[in-house]
Amino acid sequence: MNDFPWLSVLIAVPAVGALLVALLPRGKDELAKRVALGLSSLVAVLAFVMAAGFETGGARHQFEETYDWIPAFGVHWALGVDGVALTLILMSVVLVPLVMLASWNDAERYGGVVAEGERAPARSVKGYFALILALEAMMVGVFAATDVFLFYVFFEAMLVPVYFLIGHYGGPQRSYAAVKFLLYSLLGGLLMLVAVIALYVQGPNTFLMSELGDLDLDPTVAKWLFLGFFVAFAIKAPMVPLHTWLPDAAGQAPAGALVLIVGVLDKVGTYGMMRFCLELFPEASKWATPVVVTFAVISVIYGAILAIGQVDLKRLVAYTSISHFGFIVLGIFAMTSQGQAGAALYMVNHGFATGALFLVVGFLIVRRGSARVDAFGGVQKVAPLLAGAFLISGLAGLSLPGLAPFVSEFLVIIGTFARYEAAAVFAALGIVLAAIYILWMYQRTMNGPTAEAVAGFKDLSRRELVVIAPILAVIVALGFFPKPALDVIDPSVQQTLSRVQMSDPTTTVAEKGARP
């Protein structure tokens, strides 16, 4: 393994880029966009070059770097990725340039939906791109951190750019949504801070995951600390009943930012459950499993039912995500290798599938100036490519076999069934409901007589095609051939499970049979 500090570079390039873009003189919007897109593409290329050197079956964490940061608190600038983190980072860095390209022309004009007759105030273009770059740096950091304190720093600092993305570039109710988002996340984060502090006091005065792993905690303390971490992650993920910030944020945030908020940021919650809750507090995790599984199943069904009733496209997609996050949490806490591998894969697949859905919804909103389902109708006749992209991403959302989310959802359900049969049966209901909300949404917006306001719709532009085509290609590719991703994910899942000292139930379905 070479000693090049890959991960630090992946954080530094967008961070410096964000400063650079923010400091460009006013009026240089075009330059700002190009610099931002160029840098984020560079990050993506670098990330893939790094990933090529990842040895499956090698050390648990690879590309490790450890430097002292604040020795007084035992804090290190410690980075490293295992399979799960690596796939999540790759997903993030692919999505960022695409999101930039998708918001190329409308960052300043549409912060989402503008009420009829109201002119959206002009907003700083370079600010939007600078915030996204800053967010990218923190996204890489949060997945790569192997020091609990460093993770917490990225976890909390990430709120600031997101807050401004929603509050500054969002729709009419943006400041309400932004404040709600921030307060929810901050409250969760601060509870986690207590747990982080207590961990520091209890432990060997270090925050390195590698040294905290062997911590022998008092069971009662461990349960409290688990709760501190878990609540923060459950808010982030978002799980019923801590989910109410997401639909509001989704209704107001610009579609581009939403891809990153729902597609990437919310994964920090589920990633955190896997990495921190399970590995730091294995006993407490097992203790909490029944409750967590119950809430996960409730999330699956509740999110799906509410999605059916939504009249706003972005809110609808947000509720579908709550349902999907229920699946991910279910897979993690089923504590079987299939469940966890499925959950880890689902995080990636969901990022692409929901990302695609939000992007297409964004294209629709830009054309129509409204996000209401009933504002559309018969789009398919005027813009067949757009409708096609919508259909594929929608079908990915309902986990159609052949598309990526199917594999992961299937693994999750099988993995869950092996241990919690009832939970798996109820969760499977979510798939049925998914068919209703996706197909009904498609039917109402794309089929039927062409609405008057829709008649003038242009089909996907070249720029939009460049944005959406790669994501759809990834969804199809991972749908038919998930093996590369699973190969990378599996070893780290096994390690997590061995930390929790759980093995698969003996009646498990043969692993190979679970994959199409």
Partner 1 sequence: MSAGVQVIAAPGDIPAPHIEYGQLAPMLIVFGVAVVGVLVEAFVGRSWRYRVQVPLAFAGLLAALVWTLVLGLSEKPFHVAAMGAIGVDAPTLFLQGTILVLALVGLLLIAERSAAHFAAQASALPGSEAEQAGAAAGIRQTELFPLMMFAVGGMLLFPAANDLLTMFVALEVLSLPLYLLCGLARRRRLLSQEAAVKYFLLGAFSSAFFLYGTALLYGFAGSVRLSDIAEQAGQGAGGEPLLLGGIALLSVGLLFKLGAAPFHMWKPDVYQGAPTPITALMASTTLVAAFGAMLRVYYVGFETLRWDWRPTMWGVAILTMLVGAVIAVTQTDVKRLLAYSSIAHAGFLLTGLVATSREGLSGSLFYLAAYGFTTLGAFAVVTMVRDPGGEAAHLSRWAGLGKRSPLLAGAFAFFLLAMAGIPLTSGFTGKFAVFSAAVDGGATPLVIVGVLASAIAAFFYVRVIVVMFFSEPDADGPAVVVSPTTATAVAVGLAVTVVLGVLPQPVLDLAGEAAAQMFVR
Measured from the CB of residue 80, what is the shortest distance to partner 1 in angstroms? 20
**Helix (H) / strand (E) containing 68:** strand 62-70
Our CB check for partner 1 shows the closer of 152 and 376 to be: 152
Among 19, 49, 70, 509, binds partner 1 (CB under 8 A): 70
Selected binder of partner 1 within 110, 128, 164, 226 (CB under 8 A): 164
Q: Using the rule CB under 8 A, is 301 a contact of partner 1?
A: no
Burial degree of 382 (CB within 10 A; 0-12, 13-18, 19+): middle
Residue owning tokens 């759809």: 472
Query: Phi first, then psi: what are they for 208, rounded to 5°?
Result: -70, 130
Judged by CB under 8 A, the chain residues 123 through 152 that form the site for partner 1 are 152
If binding is defined by CB under 8 A, does position 183 make contact with partner 1?
yes
- Answer for which of 25, 121, 449, 513 binds partner 1 (CB under 8 A) is 121
Q: Is 182 in the site for partner 1 (CB under 8 A)?
A: yes
- Shortest gap between Cβ of 294 and partner 1 (angstroms)? 26
Q: Is 16 in the site for partner 1 (CB under 8 A)?
A: no
337 membership: H or E segment, kind and range? helix 337-368
Shortest gap between Cβ of 121 and partner 1 (angstroms)? 7
Q: How far is the CB of 336 from partner 1 (least distance, A)?
A: 35
Least Cβ distance, residue 414 to partner 1 (angstroms): 39
Backbone angles phi, psi at 260, to 5 degrees: -75, -35
What kind and span of H or E run contains 66? strand 62-70
Nearest to 82 by CA among 432, 354, 490: 490
Residues in the chain: 516
Spell out, one character per residue from 189 to 228, where the chain touches partner 1: x when CB under 8 A holds, - when not. Answer: -xx-xx--xx-xx---------------------------
Q: Which stretch binds partner 1 (CB under 8 A): 153-161, 387-395, 403-411, 446-454?
A: 153-161
Minimum gap (Å) between residue 186 Cβ and partner 1: 5
Residue 500 and residue 279: Cα distance in Å, rounded? 7
State the CB neighbour count (10 A cutoff) for residue 291: 11
Strands (E), 169-282: none
**Looking at this protein, which amino acid is placed at residue 57?**
G
Query: Does 25 sit near partner 1 (CB under 8 A)?
Result: no
Q: Closest distance between partner 1 and the C-beta of residue 386, in Å? A: 32
Q: Is 71 in the site for partner 1 (CB under 8 A)?
A: yes
Kindly provide the b/e burial profile for residues 9-25, where b requires at least 16 CB atoms within 10 angstroms of the residue's own CB: ebbebbbebbebbbebe
52 or 122: CB nearest partner 1: 122
CA proximity to 168, closest of 137, 129, 133, 117: 129
Do the beta carbons of residue 431 and residue 504 sit within 8 Å? Answer: no
Identify the helix (H) or strand (E) that includes residue 423: helix 421-446
Applying CB under 8 A, the site for partner 1 has a residue count of 33
At its nearest, how many Å lie between partner 1 and the CB of residue 69? 8
Q: Residue 206: left if φ>0, alpha if ψ -120 to 50, beta else—which one?
A: beta
23 near partner 1 (CB under 8 A): no
Question: Is the previous residue joined to 449 through a cis bond, with omega within 30 degrees of 0?
Answer: no
**CB of 198: closest distance to partner 1 in angstroms?**
6
12 binds partner 1 (CB under 8 A): no
Nearer to partner 1, 153 or 396 (CB): 153
* Residue nearer to partner 1 on the CB measure, 120 or 407: 120
Residues that bind partner 1 (CB under 8 A): 69-73, 121, 152-154, 156-157, 159-160, 163-164, 167-168, 174-175, 178-179, 182-183, 186-187, 190-191, 193-194, 197-198, 200-201
